[in-house]
Structure 1
């Protein structure tokens, strides 16, 4: 088995993450515009991307496992570092570059998702404040002390015989 399948899987993962980042940027704009219908549609697209990324990652793991098995290193951890120890300088350089690109795309996605999460949280705070303004409050609208319960007749507040 060649390292080509691993490289193709990494390239596909990078492509999917770039597309996912574009969706996250679009989501930021939709959150700012408060377009809930478009956000719902976008969430469906995000779920499709997540499934594709998950499947591609499984394919990559399988390709790495097959490569390590074919190289006689089946017991070693399935990582890019392990693969690069078994490849030539050209493949090693390409794998390192692809790994860097993938890490960069994931970092961008993480940053954008953090921003979107903050926007959603602020929107929820605004909604809660707005709802609090419309909720009725139980307030004593009269001046003075609140009404006290009348004492029972025949009993004093203090029993002097005790």
Structure 2
């Protein structure tokens, strides 16, 4: 395998991750608006990108295996040791871009997770305001057998 093929696969990985990051930014706005239909569609689109990234990562792994045949699972750092200086610079640049966009994507996903969590807290609080008795009944733990016994015992015992 050639170093140029590895550079091409890294370019594609960077491009796919950038697109996934753009979707994550759009998802933040959708979460803020509370548009569930758009959020559902956005998550389906994200799954397509995740699948494409997985396939591209497999291709990259095969290319690195071809470049560094003496290791069972060679890394990009292993490939940098066997390619020419020109390719080494390009691959290092692609690696840095990919790390940068992956870090940005992780930060955005953390933000989106926090937004969803806070939205769920708001929904739960709103439900407890609408129906406070249901919230109060669920406050204490009751063993399932004890719950059955308390429900079956009443003032009238039908077995008598």
Residue 148 of structure 1 is matched in structure 2 by none
Using structure 1 for the length normalisation, give the TM-score: 0.80
SS at match of 1:87: coil
The alpha-carbon distance between structure 1 residues 88 and 121, as it changes in their structure 2 partners (threshold 3 A), is same
Please identify which structure carries the higher helix content.
2
Partner of 1:14: 14
Change (3 A) 1:76 1:58: closer
1:88 Cα shift?
Answer: 1.1
In the alignment, is the contact (CA less than 8 A) between 2:24 and 2:109 conserved in 1? yes
Unaligned runs of 5+ in 1: 140-162
Counting matched residue pairs gives: 135
Structure 2 stretches lacking a partner, 5+ long:
137-160
Q: Is contact 2:65-2:71 (8 Å) kept?
A: no
Aligned to 1:130: 126
Mapped to 1, the partners of 2:52 and 2:71 lie a distance apart of 28
SS in 2 for 1:137: helix
Deviation at 1:75, TM superposition (A): 2.5
Counterpart of 1:31 in structure 2 is 31
| C-alpha distance in structure 2 between counterparts of 1:26 and 1:51, whole Å | 19
Moved over 4 A (4+): none
Whole-Å Cα distance in 1 between the matches of residues 71 and 90 of structure 2?
24
In 2: Cα distance, 1:75 partner to 1:49 partner: 29
Does 2:71 align with 1:75? yes
Aligned-pair distance for 1:137? Answer: 2.2
Q: Which residue of 2 aligns with 1:115?
A: 111
Asked if 1:95 is matched to 2:114, the reply is: no
Judged with a 3 Å threshold, the aligned counterparts in structure 2 of structure 1 residues 32 and 119 are, in CA distance, closer, same or farther, namely same
Q: Equivalent residue for 1:2?
A: 2
